[in-house]
Amino acid sequence: MRGRVRTRTIATVSALGLAAVLSGCGVGGGDSSDVTLTLVAADYGNGAADSSKKYWADLVERYESDHPDVDIDVSVYSWNDVDRKVKEMVDAGTPPDMAQIGAYADYASQGLLHRVGDLLSIPVQADFLSQLSEAGEVNSVQYGMPFAASTRLLFYNKSLFAEAGLTPPETWDELVECAEALEADGVKFPYALPLGPEEAQAETLQWLLSGDGGYTDIGGTYAIDSTENVETLSWLRDELVGKGLTGPVAPGELDRAEAFEAFAAGDVGMLNGHPSLMEMARKKGVKYGMVPIPGAEGETPSALGVADWMMAFEKNGHRDEIGDFLDFVYSEENVLDFSREYDLLPVTNSASRAMAASGQDKEIKPFLDQLPLSEQYPVGKTSWAAVNAEIKRKIGKAVEPGGSPAGVLGELQAAAVRADSAG
């Protein structure tokens, strides 16, 4: 294989919240070619055995065998490092041709990215799920190409529920009743509420959606301190955290990866989880069930959806070669292969239909069913990166006993308005 796939990975946590640990690096040598395209990509693996490096190496080898005049040079970094690495390259004036990372809007607003419509063939661009295509737009122009997606369901420990004589909750009140029964049975984390800095923005948004709120209003304007959001976090503070039902670690100090590990160890009764938790639980022998996220009065009407993004930088040219390669990346076969390898949801209609019809994917189908009605982060806002960081830093304080949801959400709303104005 001429293409090179390099890896630099430490402990990782992606925008989808997928933890991975990998060490070492490898470089495949190469012949010269007419065009060399560089891609910086994130690692979704849980170790060297399933590093994304292997996925890209196979894909690149197959592409280059049919395109002898194009060399694809892929560098794979941990989620702790990949966004920073791309920013450093852009700041140095040497952006990669393509980047597969957590956000695209800042680069689009700076005029650094190719329009998706100038890259992909019409059938490939039209194959993206519509809500993900829209989430990839800035000022009604698509610059971000969704690469991987995830939704959330409520996971529960079947053994712990059976011992306590419980059925899965459908409402907040039922969730509290289950948590109280689990707490009485000595379960360490009756409900795990990870609002630590790793992925607080995800857990927060899922709860806000279940209370008929969210980060933005129907017009896309920040509405972080809405009445619905204040009521949701006040309920969390009083009914879960204040009653000691979220375990021995303060929610603001509990990271998502730690909560998942505790569930896989049998120490958690319930938590919101994405598909990768299934494999973690299976490996540890934990029997689990999955149901839609409970809402204030019933099933939450809209689940959290998360996507990671592919983008292409204009500076180096090679628009046609980039577009042809990305058409290959987004073929049904390759999207399915990646989604199945890492327990993620496909971002295209063709791969989604294939997965929904396949018996081998039946366990992930409940997550797939949530995707069409899911709500994404406001990733099309250039201010989102700053707002996201503030949420991670502050939101845990809102649900502390004696904390002020209205005060914290008010601070976050003010910060969001300032960031929006600056953008």
User: How confident is the prediction along the chain (423 residues), in pLDDT tens digits per residue?
Assistant: 445 554 443 333 444 544 333 333 333 334 445 899 999 999 988 667 778 999 999 999 999 999 999 999 999 998 878 989 999 999 999 999 999 998 899 999 999 999 999 999 999 999 999 989 999 999 899 999 999 999 999 999 999 999 999 999 999 999 999 999 999 999 999 999 999 988 899 999 999 999 999 999 988 899 999 999 999 999 999 999 999 999 999 999 999 989 999 999 999 999 999 998 998 999 999 999 999 999 998 888 788 999 999 999 999 999 999 999 999 999 999 999 999 999 899 999 999 999 999 888 988 999 999 888 889 899 889 899 889 989 999 999 999 999 999 999 999 999 999 998 886
Tokens of 208: 């806000």
Round to whole Å and give the CA distance between 128 and 264: 33
DSSP label of 297 = S
| Phi, psi (rounded to 5 degrees) for 155 | -90, 145
CB-facing half-sphere around the CA of 105: CA atoms within 13 A: 19
In this prediction the pTM is 0.83
Neighbouring C-beta atoms of residue 220, cutoff 10 Å:
11
Name the residue with tokens 């610059």: 143
Contact 257, 198 (CB under 8 A): yes
Tokens of 105: 């809007």
Contact 6, 138 (CB under 8 A): no
How would you classify the pairing of strands 305-312 and 145-151? antiparallel
**Cα separation of the two ends of the chain:** 43
Sort 32 into a burial class: Cβ within 10 Å, 0-12 / 13-18 / 19+. exposed
* CA neighbor of 271 nearest in space, from 293, 242, 241, 299: 293
Round to whole Å and give the CA distance between 144 and 187: 43
How would you classify the pairing of strands 141-142 and 137-138? antiparallel
Coil, strand or helix at 26: coil
CB-facing half-sphere around the CA of 301: CA atoms within 13 A: 6
Round to whole Å and give the CA distance between 143 and 313: 10
Q: 52: Cβ–Cβ under 8 A, 6 or more apart, which residues?
A: 41, 42, 43, 44, 45, 76, 342
Round to whole Å and give the CA distance between 76 and 85: 10
Separation in Å, CA 188 to CA 101, 167, 179, 247, 277: 35, 19, 11, 6, 18
Distance of CA 222 to the CA centre of its chain: 20
Tokens of 306: 């998360």
Round to whole Å and give the CA distance between 231 and 211: 8
Contact 97, 270 (CB under 8 A): no
Tokens of 282: 């299976």
Tokens of 418: 């300032």
Sort 110 into a burial class: Cβ within 10 Å, 0-12 / 13-18 / 19+. exposed
* CA neighbor of 353 nearest in space, from 367, 376, 332, 370: 332
* CA neighbor of 315 nearest in space, from 86, 99, 95: 95
| Phi, psi (rounded to 5 degrees) for 6 | -110, 150
